[in-house]
Amino acid sequence: MGNSIISMTLYFRNKVLDILRKAFPHHEDVLTDGLGTLIVYFLYFSVVIMLMPLLLTCKGISFIDFNQTGAIGDTIGGVMGPFVALLAAFLTFLAFWIQYRANNLQRDIAEKQLDLSIQQNEMVAKQTEIAEKQMRMAEEQEKKYAIERFENTLHQMLDVYSRNSESVRAGELSGKEAFEELAAELFFIYQVLAEMLKEIRQTKNFIKVKDTVKNEVLHHISQLLDDKEKTRHFLMDLAYALFFSGFYIKDKESLKAAGAVGVALENELYWRIKEMVFVEDKYSTYKTRLMSLTKVDTVSYRAPYEMACGHNGVLGHYYRQMLQMVKFVSDAPEKLISEEQKYEYVKLLRSQMCDAEQVLFYYNSTSVWGKAWRERHGNDDDDEKTWSYIIRYRLIKNIPVNYPFFGIPPTIYYKEDIKRWEGQYGKSFFETDLFGQHGF
């Protein structure tokens, strides 16, 4: 009998659950076997309660005769009341149980969603990390390629510079020897101009100055000779102009500063140089002439080629290519090439310059044509990127100290700039500080 009831209960439970699952397909987790069994037993209990009045009033079944009690309804109500209360309590418990299961289900779902969210966040974080790593690798690779392209271009420019340097000629000399001869020629022109200036003051004779301005020019010469620094600036500018271009040339600011009298004096010296008697001597050089020079002759001279005819055709291209190279390094992005690296790159150029090249380069930087080398690129004295190229990259660091500098030596001409550089780096700007000054 007991097994039959259990079998029947299992059967009804499965049927009830099938009906409920079809009616509520989205509540599979709530419709458990335990709930199905409770429902079946509830149905059993409900049937029994519904049959209780019949059973209690049936004489063949009940041993108490409820028909004689009078108010059978009140008796049945009193008897059935506790059962109904128990049924209500059971239904309340069932409601709470279902709510409890639903809460647990919601909590489980929330925990699963939280775990899933954490996993997704971890996955996103890993993907972001991988993407950032790949981006860094790509940036590093691009930077590497950019540096390689930069260095390849720079080496090509250095090759062009080397060829330009080797192609420089002075008479029969070429390359580094030519630069030595050109530096000697520039010094020789300066010495001749200085001697001519003294002769004009002594003789008061002119070949180009008009009589109406002779006295003004003589007065101007006296003022120059009374101030050696002004004299050196004047002769240095004119000597380089004759050396580089073959004639005196000034920018608008210099013309305004010199005035008509200054221009007249320059013109006089220019024509005196051109009227000197030139005797070609291929076996002589300006360098050997300077070494044996005891007195400067302003009438004639022997040399392998005529002086003050201009070397712009060769040196102009040479200096422009140098400037392009230094500007190429200077303009490289800071994130690609640091300031220290830029200095090392320009150092490659400086290391290829012989002593005479650095001497000529210094005098070029002081001239109208070399303005780009000495001009500032900003006003912040503490920022080396605003300094002139010649100071920022120490382009005359190895200039020879034993050279007979004429005019204004580099230690004086770039005095303030050199002081700023040494204050920034705490060491000497030049390789050695033993500089001398010669000339007029």
Predicted confidence band of residue 128 (pLDDT cuts 50, 70, 90)? confident
More confident residue, 402 or 398: 398
Q: What is the pLDDT of residues 41-93, one digit of tens each?
A: 777 677 776 666 666 666 555 555 655 555 456 656 665 676 677 667 777 87
Distance (Å) of CA 222 to CA 200, 218, 257: 10, 6, 17
- Report residue 395 as tokens: 């382009």
Q: What is the pLDDT of residues 137-152, one digit of tens each?
A: 888 888 899 999 999 9
**pLDDT > 90? residue 304:** yes
Q: What is the dihedral of CA 276, 279, 283, 289, to 10 degrees?
A: -30
**Please, which residues have CB within 8 angstroms of residue 374's CB and are 6 or more apart in sequence?**
365, 366, 388, 390, 414
What is the reported pTM? 0.71
Amino acid (1-letter code) at residue 325: M
Q: What is the pLDDT of residues 249-292, one digit of tens each?
A: 555 555 565 678 888 898 899 999 999 999 999 888 998 888 77
Residue linked to tokens 């800071």: 334
**pLDDT > 80? residue 100:** no
Q: Give residue 234's pLDDT.
A: 92
The rounded distance, in Å, linking the Cα atoms of 387 and 375 is 8
**pLDDT > 70? residue 26:** no
Q: Give residue 340's pLDDT.
A: 94
Mean pLDDT on 338-365: 94
The rounded distance, in Å, linking the Cα atoms of 253 and 255 is 5
Mean pLDDT on 117-142: 87
Average pLDDT, the chain: 84
Q: Give residue 360's pLDDT.
A: 95
3-state secondary structure 121-186: HHHHHHHHHHHHHHHHHHHHHHHHHHHHHHHHHHHHHHHHHHHHHHHCEECCEECHHHHHHHHHHH
